[in-house]
Structure 1
């Protein structure tokens, strides 16, 4: 770069005298020239390597120089721009947007932030990137020592995706409105989560009515202005603003609609308490009711004072790189290989250092976990990123690191190569996106919970429609048979129909009982009432009940050992556990193969093992088998609600026990229940005494 605006006039140089210079003066001049060259090299490196598109203009609008990010964004080089004699102030597209007066203000010496402007590089200069892009520009002047404008610096931001997203959101409004009633509860929960996020934001977030009366501000207001939120709410901020700003904002509000729901502005003011100048960038979005009436405006403000200050100082050649490095809100690290040679204050704060000397000479790998989230070792991942930077010139990536305090951060980083003082270094710009990642994960979790609830609802409807149809059909056909042919039927045939009705009714009652038990379990109302229990006797009773409810002629083998004393447990819960497991064993095994129940004692634990030689359970179905309304895919036409094992799991958990399942398709299943049911001798004696007292 030929020294920005050719530098100050030679007549003002302290070395322009014709008097002979001493050796010390000559050495001082050589040192000053060397420092000036290094400063210019640093600025050239920053201009060329920054990921932000930048362009230099003459005051008459002619392009002087563009950086690599500009070439990547617009597909245009300095040579193409020069060949086309490109002049921004004469560009037809700019004139058609009606924004030319704003650009003229910028070239008159006023720092200007332009709104998103439609721009087709190929129309402006043949050979440029084809297709319409929306570009937001930030223009500020560079003046010489006499205050004359020498150049205009422009930074471009491609907001095409944002504009397209806004257009897409508009198209979705009608569809979303139809779902509002259905999603009221979900939106209420989402609003609470959003409020929690807004309350912790460092950016200013507020809402106000169309007349300018503030209705809400987040805690960032209190931190920035030193006032309570109540001092802002209810006040008309537009009337309190400067007249010119107030008039501009009123005009913008009047133009808000669902098609044009937002506007932006820069607000410059001075804090009365400290006298500090404050520059804020505000994005305002209208909130409309169903009829399209503007109800409220939500505003998000960002303190851009530091950016304005950096831009103001950008004209001072020697301070350009240092100020951008020191004042950057993002962390910036200069690396020689993987060793840190310089870190800006934001980077020091991010990692947890208090002074620069604590960081210099150390490597970033010292502050990284052994593995990155994708499983790649951090050392290997760093080598891959360094190779990518060498081949492509830069790299953008996410990185997990640890602070000095041990806290993990997710960093979004942009790495590029810069030349400083004859050394090739890696410049890494760091942004802490931990909060954003946590918000994204919370949103994914909410969507997954919603999907599970929807699946549960579908499973329930499917179960009710299928499982209730068969017994209802039996009841209906049997009653119809009795009603029409009662006189023709023998007593035995009438009794058979009555028994069919009774069996179907009991089956429906059992399904309803299971649903009620599921409801109690989900609501946490399924409780345990432990008492002394004779496990052998209870097991035999449950076996008999399971056999009487099934087909005639079925058997269940029962073996027990080591059960020589009473156990403590909830008899009703034990009935649910063993009853459901034994019923399943009978249902899913062939009639000629008898299931078995084995009861043993292991220390203070009772171990129940229920085995059958039935159809078995596919491995892919086992992880979800203890959830509500889940059944194995190979059950065929065997009746069931999918609630039995769900209830068993809850009853086992209430006993603070464990459940294990072993199965092979076509060979059978073994379910092992391990329950702590045999208390210490002192506990047992107390329980027996209590039971005798109740009997007396």
Structure 2
């Protein structure tokens, strides 16, 4: 097909090999790219069968009997140039240039090397055709590929969705910035939320504040190492929930695109571990106290035993030289040390039972105000003329749940200590107060007081303050007192000023507040 140029006596068209390849005859002369002049070929259709070089034909060479005359040159044109469009392995046809001018005029218009110019033109045309065919081929392949790929992707997505929805484990997907993009139903149940409540939220906001940095570091480790990172955190929920989180980076085409996270609820495991730690700590404490008891008790028993041994040896060696009074004196010393050891042994056993929670406990409701009135009256009778001032500032309710024997042991120890560290004519004050939920008992003296550096340790077993060493005692009284108060569910505190006196305060919960 030829298109006429309005500014020149020529036309440009395309020779379709499918249209002319079946003809025969001497219609086209063929030349070569490397020759300036064109050589006429006697069988121009050979070019059609092997169109590798530029061909030239003029009307005088055309046999009117061939249909190619109308195809290539009609009555308006005198000359036809055919430039092959081929890439060496595929023949696409020819680019035709027809002109009504004679051959000399046409070559003059094209320049000194018309074949080179036309060849360059054909190369560009061939590239365009190849590009178009390649694009068409690519689109056909893409369409075919897309159908298979879409089916495969649809199947893969269905399998993934079923695995995600039916997994009993918590699974989340995050983008590269740690923002939640997707999670499954177990996560919703764990967090007690709807299926979309946390979409678009930072992953670290699901945990308690103290664990946020730990979770961020685990995500960074997974990103940097390319391997899994595991961390245990506490969730930011109303009830305490602990989870193990495993984080893995998602890498596609060597680029980090996000994270996949799995979570396992380990709340019960953590509770059991904490209980075991508490029990282990308690057992270790009991063992330590038992060892301490043995060590301290051995030291405390050594003195009376030494005194007993010395008195007995003296009695055996010199009894025949002793008068009656000397013999009685030696025996009295032995008796005193035995009584001292008995008291010490009793206290050690009581304290051991208290600290190992093996003490029999029989609580009952006790009105502390009435009970103290009776107790102090009897104490004064049993211990002679002692100055005890009782002050009660209470409401009508001063009742606590307590074991009466334990409460009696507490008051005896408090009053005995107060008189021990007071002057002979010192006064001991017993003060009872109540609040809305507590009953408070205080025992105060105006004795020697306790040095400040000893106050924090006075409740330790066998510990004695530096200014108490000259006085009798074994350092177990306040340790037993502390455990007795704890057994009744109370607290004990001590305040003291050296040279002015000491006040011990015991707080118990009212039975009405339990």
Paired residues for 1:383-402 under 5 Å: 383-389=216-222, 391-393=224-226, 396-402=229-235
- CA shift at 1:513, angstroms? 3.1
- CA shift at 1:459, angstroms? 2.0
Q: Structure 2 residue aligned with 1:599, among 408, 430, 434? A: 430
Q: Contact conserved, 1:595 with 1:610, CA < 8 A, in 2?
A: no
What SS does the aligned partner of 2:208 have?
coil
CA offsets per residue over residues 252-296 of structure 1, 9 Å max, x none? xxxxxxxxxxxxxxxxxxxxxxxxxxxxxxxxxxxxxxxxxxxxx
Q: Contact conserved, 1:536 with 1:563, CA < 8 A, in 2?
A: no
Taking structure 2 as the reference length, the TM-score comes to 0.53
Partner of 1:690: none
Partner of 1:141: none
Paired residues for 1:500-515 under 5 Å: 500-515=333-348
Q: Structure 2 residue aligned with 1:496, among 329, 332, 341? A: 329
Matched, 1:456 2:289: yes
Q: 1:396 to 1:366 in 2, by over 3 A?
A: same
Partner of 2:251: 418
Q: Structure 2 residue aligned with 1:332, among 166, 171, 174? A: 171
For residues 434 and 674 of structure 1, the distance between their equivalents in structure 2, rounded to whole angstroms, comes to: 36
CA offsets per residue over residues 205-224 of structure 1, 9 Å max, x none? xxxxxxxxxxxxxxxxxxxx
- CA shift at 1:465, angstroms? 1.7
Q: 1:454 to 1:421 in 2, by over 3 A?
A: closer
For residues 215 and 188 of structure 2, the distance between their equivalents in structure 1, rounded to whole angstroms, comes to: 20
- CA shift at 1:471, angstroms? 1.9
What SS does the aligned partner of 1:341 have?
strand
- CA shift at 1:398, angstroms? 1.6
- CA shift at 1:593, angstroms? 9.3
Note the residue ranges of structure 2 that are not aligned, 5 or more in a row: 1-132
Partner of 2:494: 661
- CA shift at 1:665, angstroms? 8.6
Paired residues for 1:305-384 under 5 Å: 331-336=170-175, 337-344=177-184, 351=191, 357=196, 360-372=199-211, 378=212, 380-384=213-217
Q: Contact conserved, 2:242 with 2:270, CA < 8 A, in 1?
A: no
- CA shift at 1:581, angstroms? 3.0
For residues 362 and 214 of structure 2, the distance between their equivalents in structure 1, rounded to whole angstroms, comes to: 52
Paired residues for 1:43-82 under 5 Å: none
Paired residues for 1:547-566 under 5 Å: 558-562=388-392
CA offsets per residue over residues 206-249 of structure 1, 9 Å max, x none? xxxxxxxxxxxxxxxxxxxxxxxxxxxxxxxxxxxxxxxxxxxx
For residues 150 and 256 of structure 2, the distance between their equivalents in structure 1, rounded to whole angstroms, comes to: 15
- CA shift at 1:470, angstroms? 1.9
Partner of 2:93: none
Paired residues for 1:77-156 under 5 Å: none
For residues 191 and 326 of structure 2, the distance between their equivalents in structure 1, rounded to whole angstroms, comes to: 85
Q: Contact conserved, 2:491 with 2:508, CA < 8 A, in 1?
A: yes
Q: 1:492 to 1:465 in 2, by over 3 A?
A: same
Q: 1:387 to 1:598 in 2, by over 3 A?
A: same
Q: 1:329 to 1:520 in 2, by over 3 A?
A: closer
Q: Structure 1 residue aligned with 2:448, among 613, 631, 653? A: 613
- CA shift at 1:462, angstroms? 1.7
Taking structure 1 as the reference length, the TM-score comes to 0.41
For residues 327 and 564 of structure 1, the distance between their equivalents in structure 2, rounded to whole angstroms, comes to: 65
Q: Structure 2 residue aligned with 1:631, among 444, 463, 469? A: 463
What SS does the aligned partner of 2:210 have?
coil
For residues 322 and 299 of structure 2, the distance between their equivalents in structure 1, rounded to whole angstroms, comes to: 31
Matched, 1:525 2:355: no
What SS does the aligned partner of 2:339 have?
helix
CA offsets per residue over residues 414-471 of structure 1, 9 Å max, x none? 2425348988223334344445544543443343233223213212322332222222
Q: Structure 2 residue aligned with 1:479, among 312, 319, 341? A: 312
Partner of 2:85: none
CA offsets per residue over residues 135-166 of structure 1, 9 Å max, x none? xxxxxxxxxxxxxxxxxxxxxxxxxxxxxxxx
Q: Contact conserved, 2:243 with 2:263, CA < 8 A, in 1?
A: no
CA offsets per residue over residues 494-529 of structure 1, 9 Å max, x none? 443333223212212222333454476543424357
For residues 26 and 558 of structure 1, the distance between their equivalents in structure 2, rounded to whole angstroms, comes to: 109
CA offsets per residue over residues 156-184 of structure 1, 9 Å max, x none? xxxxxxxxxxxxxxxxxxxxxxxxxxxxx
Partner of 1:200: none
Paired residues for 1:115-264 under 5 Å: none
CA offsets per residue over residues 391-433 of structure 1, 9 Å max, x none? 5556724242448784512223224253489882233343444
The alignment of Structure 1 onto Structure 2 pairs a total of residues equal to 367
Q: 1:467 to 1:537 in 2, by over 3 A?
A: same
For residues 563 and 406 of structure 1, the distance between their equivalents in structure 2, rounded to whole angstroms, comes to: 43
Higher Rg of the two aligned structures: 2
Q: Contact conserved, 1:613 with 1:668, CA < 8 A, in 2?
A: yes
Q: 1:636 to 1:402 in 2, by over 3 A?
A: same
Matched, 1:647 2:451: no
- CA shift at 1:333, angstroms? 1.9
Q: Contact conserved, 2:451 with 2:465, CA < 8 A, in 1?
A: no
